[in-house]
A and B are shown apart, each in its own frame.
Chain A
Amino acid sequence: MIHYIGHRLLQLIPLLIAISIIAFVIIQLPPGDYLTTYINQLELSGTKVSESAIVALERQYGLDKPMYQQYFIWMKNILLHGDFGRSFSWNEPVSKVIGERLVLTMVISIFTLIVTWLIAIPIGIYSAVRQYSVLDYIFSFIGFIGLAVPNFLIALVIVYFVFDTTGIAITGLFSPEYADAPWSFAKVLDLLQRIWVPVLIIATAGTAGLIRTMRGMLLDELSKQYVVTARAKGVAEKKLLFKYPVRVAVNPLISTIGWTLPTIISGEAIVSIVLNLPTTGPVLLDAFRTQDMYLAGSFILILSILTVIGTLLSDILLAWVDPRIRFGGVEE
Chain B
Amino acid sequence: MSVELGKEMEPMPLDEMKEEEKSVEVASQWKLMWWKFRKHKLALISAPILLMLFIIIVFAEFLSPHLPLERFTDYKYAPPTKIHFVDAEGNFSFRPFVYGMTQEIDSETFQRTFVEDTSQKYPIHFFVEGKPYKMWGLFEMKTHFIGVKDAGAPFFLTGTDSLGRDLLSRTFYGSRISISFALIGIVFTVIFGLILGGISGYFGGAVDTVIQRLIDLLLCIPAIPLWMALAAALPQSWSPLKIYFGMVLIFSIVGWTGLARVVRGKLLSLREEDFTMAARLAGASNMRIISKHLLPSFASYIIINVTISIPVTILGETSLSFLGLGLQSPVVSWGVLLQEAQKLENLAHHPWLLWPAVFIVVTVLMFNFIGDGLRDAADPYK
**B225, A266: Cβ atoms closer than 8 Å:** yes
> Once the chains bind, are B361 and A15 in contact (CB under 8 Å)?
no
Give the chain B neighbours of A291 by CB distance below 8 A: 232
Contact B351 A160 (CB under 8 A): yes
How far, in Å, is A188 (CB) from chain B's closest CB?
Answer: 26
A14: Cβ under 8 A from any B Cβ:
yes
B220 and A307 form a contact (CB under 8 A) = yes
Binds A, one of B55-63, B108-116, B200-208, B362-370: B362-370
Question: Do residues B213 and A299 form an inter-chain contact, with CB atoms below 8 A?
Answer: no
> Which of A144, A152, A299 meets B225, CB within 8 Å?
A299
Contact segment of A1-9, A22-30, A35-43:
A22-30
Residues of A within 8 A of B223 (CB): 262-263, 266
CA A149 to CA B325, docked complex, whole Å: 20
List CB contacts (< 8 Å) of B211-244 with chain A: 213, 216-217, 219-226, 228-233, 235
A285 contacts chain B at the CB level, 8 A cutoff: yes
Type the 1/0 row for B256-268, where 1 means its CB is closer than 8 Å to any CB of A: 0000000000000
Question: Do the beta carbons of A149 and B224 come within 8 Å of each other?
Answer: no
A251 interface hit (Cβ, 8 Å): no
The residue in chain B whose Cβ has the minimal distance to the Cβ of A14 is B213
Contacts A18-B217, A262-B221, A284-B228; is A153 near B233 (CB within 8 Å)?
no
Known interface pairs A145-B361, A150-B318. Does A22 touch B323 (Cβ–Cβ under 8 Å)? Answer: no
CB proximity to A under 8 Å, residues B359-379: 360-361, 364-365, 368-369, 372
B225→A29 contact, CB < 8 A: no
Contact call A152/B322, Cβ cutoff below 8 A:
yes
Q: Does A304 contact B (CB under 8 A)?
A: yes
Q: Mark A136-175, 1 if CB is under 8 A from B, else 0.
A: 0000000011011111110011011001100001010000
Q: Chain B nearest CB: distance from A187 CB in Å?
A: 24
Nearest CB of B to A176, in Å? 16
The interface residues of chain A lying within 8 Å CB-to-CB of B311 are: 147-148
A residues near B338, Cβ cutoff 8 Å = 153, 156
**With a CB–CB cut-off of 8 A, which chain B residues contact A303?**
221-222, 225
Instruction: Take A159-B344, A262-B219 as given contacts and tell me if A270 and B232 are in contact as well, using a CB distance cutoff of 8 Å.
Output: no
| Residues of B contacting A249 in the complex (Cβ-Cβ under 8 angstroms) | none
Write out, one digit per residue, whether chain B residues 180-195 have a CB within 8 A of any chain A CB (1) or not (0): 0000000000000000
How many of A's residues come within 8 Å of B, CB to CB?
51
Beta-carbon contact of B361 and A304 below 8 Å: no
B336-356 vs A, CB cutoff 8 Å, 1 = contact: the mask equals 001001101001100100100
Q: Which residues of B contact A299 (CB under 8 A)?
A: 225
Q: How far is the CA of A162 from the CA of B267 in the complex (A)?
A: 51
Contact call A285/B325, Cβ cutoff below 8 A: yes
| Chain B residues whose CB sits within 8 angstroms of the CB of A147 once the complex forms | 311, 364, 368
Query: Given the complex, which residues of A lie within 8 Å of B341, measured CB to CB?
Result: 156
Whether B324 sits at the interface, judged by CB under 8 Å, is: yes
* Complex-state Cα separation, A26 to B372, whole angstroms: 36
A12 → B minimal CB distance (Å): 10
Residues of B within 8 A of A270 (CB): 224, 319, 323
Q: Is B177 an interface residue (CB 8 A)?
A: no
Say yes or no for B157: interface residue by CB 8 A criterion.
no
Say which residue of B216, B232, B360, B368 sits within 8 Å of A296 (CB atoms).
B232
- Of A150, A297, A311, the most chain B CB neighbours within 10 A belong to A150
Separation of A44 and B217 alpha carbons in the complex (Å): 40
Given contacts A156-B341, A269-B222, A288-B228, are A145 and B347 in contact (CB under 8 A)?
Answer: no
| A214 proximal to B (CB < 8 A) | no
Chain A CB within 8 A of B44 CB: no
Contact A308–B220 (Cβ < 8 Å): yes
Whether B220 and A311, one on each chain, are in contact in the complex, defined by CB atoms closer than 8 angstroms, is yes
Q: How large is the interface on B (under 10, 10 to 19, 20 to 34, 35 or more residues)?
A: 35 or more
The answer to whether the Cβ of B315 comes within 8 Å of any Cβ in the partner chain is yes
Q: Does A250 contact B (CB under 8 A)?
A: no
B357 in the interface, Cβ–Cβ < 8 Å?
yes
Shortest Cβ gap from B318 to chain A (Å): 6
Residues of B within 8 A of A29 (CB): 229-230, 232-233
Contact between A153 and B348, CB atoms less than 8 A apart: no
Cross-chain contact A22 with B217 (CB below 8 angstroms): yes
Cβ-defined partner of B221 (8 Å) among A150, A159, A258, A304: A304
B319 to chain A: which residues have CB within 8 Å? Answer: 150-152, 270
Given known pairs A160-B344, A300-B229, the reply for A150 and B360 (CB within 8 Å) is yes
Instruction: Decide: A300 and B347 in contact? CB cutoff 8 A.
Output: no
From B225, B231, B369, residue with most partner A Cβ within 10 Å: B225
User: Does A31 have its Cβ within 8 Å of any Cβ on chain B?
Assistant: yes
Q: What are the residues of chain B within 8 A of A262 when measuring CB–CB?
A: 219-223
* Least distance between A41 CB and chain B CB atoms (Å): 17
Interface check A121, CB cutoff 8 A: no
- Contact assessment for A157 and B354 in the assembled complex, using a CB-CB cutoff below 8 Å: yes
By a CB distance below 8 angstroms, the chain B residues around A218 are: none
B313 to chain A, nearest CB (A): 12
CB distance from A118 to the nearest CB of B (A): 23
CB pair A30–B224 under 8 Å, yes or no, is: no
Tell whether, in the assembled complex, residue B219 and residue A259 are in contact, meaning their CB atoms are under 8 Å apart.
Answer: yes
A40 to chain B, nearest CB (A): 15
Determine the chain A residues whose CB is within 8 A of the CB of B364 once the complex forms.
Answer: 147-149
Known contacts: A156-B354, A258-B219. The answer to whether A144 contacts B365 by CB under 8 A is: yes
> Does A273 make an interface contact (CB < 8 A)?
yes
Contacts of A145 in B (CB 8 A): 361, 365
Give complex CA distance A14, B213 in Å.
Answer: 9
Contacts of B342 in A (CB 8 A): 156, 274
Listed from nearest, the 7 A-B pairs whose CB atoms lie closest are A29-B233, A288-B232, A266-B224, A148-B364, A148-B365, A265-B222, A262-B222
Further pairs besides A148-B311, A148-B361, A273-B323: 16, Cβ < 8 Å:
A18-B213, A19-B217, A26-B230, A26-B233, A29-B233, A149-B364, A150-B360, A156-B347, A156-B354, A258-B219, A266-B225, A270-B224, A289-B324, A300-B226, A303-B221, A307-B221
B interface, CB within 8 angstroms of A = 213, 216-217, 219-226, 228-233, 235, 311, 315, 318-319, 322-325, 338, 341-342, 344, 347-348, 351, 354, 357, 360-361, 364-365, 368-369, 372
A-B contact pairs, 20 of them (CB 8 A): A19-B217, A19-B220, A22-B217, A26-B230, A29-B229, A29-B232, A30-B232, A31-B235, A144-B368, A148-B365, A153-B361, A163-B344, A171-B344, A266-B222, A266-B225, A269-B222, A289-B232, A297-B229, A303-B225, A308-B220
